[in-house]
Amino acid sequence: MTHVVDFQPGGYRYIQAVFQYSAGVAALPGFAIERVVFQRSPALLAGFDAIAAHLAQRGRPLSALCGCELRSPAPLSDGGFVEFNRQYVRTLQDWGLVRGDLNPVARTNVCPVYEPPASPAFHAFSYTVPDDGTALPSFVVAGGGEAPEGHGNYRDVMVRLGDTSLDGLREKVRYVVAEMTRRVTALGFTWQDAVATQAYTVHDIGPLVHDELVQRGVARMGLTWQFTRPPIADMEYEMDLRRVARELVHA
């Protein structure tokens, strides 16, 4: 069952998921989401400091943070991923965002093949601002790969584990599209509302784009294919999508 929870201190609602992130967020009435991309990706703690400074400059509380986009050096084992996530959520706990295993902040975390960071780093972040009703309703769907969340590990539930044939990739893409559809629907939107759709993989998905993405209405505004790996070892394909009110670049 999908649970969508209002996070009033931040001005957004979120899809309850796992302790490291929510499955997606959408601005509550009276608010809109802005996104900031880092020109030079800062390491994790420096990134949180930059986010705090930006929110203060915008007159927004730390609780307005609703989305984090990370870049990591390489995929991790299940155990390594849990360890990293415990470190990552520590700051969110200190900021009063995470309580127990309830985390409202959406997240995408992928691993660039070229010019990977030396340590986990921030690529972008999203937050809410007051809105007078002129902006379209905004949302950010968190990244997800070809394995359901909430199990003991990812390997046991991965779709076509180790199979990177065209048929194997097709099933992976279909699973991820279905999961993204579930998330965006839970927030009250459709693929038609998305302005930005990302695919994260090192495999050639060109033969699948028409049938599995374009034909299904997944890429109405185009598709950004980022040559990265998902953060879990042996996971091959990830996606996310969004529509935000404004995008900025941080030096």
Q: Which domain holds residue 64?
A: 4-250
Please write the tens of the pLDDT for every residue from 21-56. 999 999 999 999 999 999 999 999 999 999 999 999
Which CATH number goes with the domain that contains 36? 3.30.1330.40
- Angle at which helices 44-57 and 78-94 pack, to 10 degrees? 30
What is the count of structural domains for the chain?
1
Please tell me the predicted confidence (pLDDT) of residue 159: 98
Please write the tens of the pLDDT for every residue from 170-227. 999 999 999 999 999 999 999 999 999 999 999 999 999 999 999 999 999 999 999 9
Please tell me the predicted confidence (pLDDT) of residue 197: 98
Please write the tens of the pLDDT for every residue from 123-142. 999 999 999 999 999 999 99
Output b/e per residue, 72-95; b: 16+ Cβ within 10 A.
beebbebeebeebbeebbebbeeb
Residue 150 above 90 pLDDT? no
**Backbone phi, psi, residue 119, to 5°:** -145, 165
